[in-house]
């Protein structure tokens, strides 16, 4: 019996290899782009909310934010409501990269789904959302966090 996750994993590996190549001219990589996207969509989100939103552990969040801060793509500010947490904001440079990153993603999405009819693409999207929701639930995470 062939497993679905074999193909999901294989497609994901190719996607990340593509991203690393396509994002290199912007000075970022496949482990950093989701941070920029999320921070541009939700500026001021606290650092402690990012692990669930991006599906990575806290140490990866801290390390990646330090890298992005060093590159001038984010800034952290002590959260006035809770001094133990930091709110994270994209810089102007990150906001300028946002549409370019989205274009890179859309180009990949269009290319890999070009073998599907419009109905097949719609079905695949629905199926993958359900699979992602179930995967989140199995690890005790909120599927709603992935929708942001």
Q: Where are the domains of the chain?
A: 4-112
Q: Which among 139, 15, 88 is positioned nearest to 7, based on CA atoms?
A: 15
Q: What's the pTM?
A: 0.88
Q: What is the pLDDT of residues 63-109, one digit of tens each?
A: 999 999 999 999 999 977 778 888 999 999 999 999 999 999 999 99
Provide the mean pLDDT of the chain: 93
- Contact between 31 and 64 (Cβ < 8 Å): yes
CATH fit for domain 4-112, picks 3.40.50.300, 3.30.70.2390, 1.10.10.10, 3.55.40.20: 1.10.10.10
Average confidence (pLDDT) over 132-142: 87
pLDDT value of residue 106: 98
């Amino acid at each position: 019996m062939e497993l679905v996750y074999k193909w999901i994993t294989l497609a994901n590996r190719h996607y990340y290899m593509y991203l690393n190549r396509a994002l290199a001219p912007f000075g970022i990589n496949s482990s950093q782009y989701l941070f920029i996207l999320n921070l541009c969509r939700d500026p001021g989100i606290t650092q402690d909310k990012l692990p669930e939103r991006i599906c990575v552990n806290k140490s990866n969040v801290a390390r990646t934010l330090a890298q992005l801060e060093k590159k001038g793509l984010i800034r952290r500010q002590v959260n006035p409501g809770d001094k133990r947490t930091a709110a994270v904001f994209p810089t102007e440079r990150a906001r300028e990269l946002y549409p370019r990153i989205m274009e890179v993603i859309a180009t990949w999405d269009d290319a890999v789904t070009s073998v599907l009819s419009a109905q097949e693409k719609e079905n695949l999207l629905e199926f993958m959302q359900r699979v992602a929701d179930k995967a989140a639930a199995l690890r005790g995470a909120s599927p709603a966090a992935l929708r942001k």
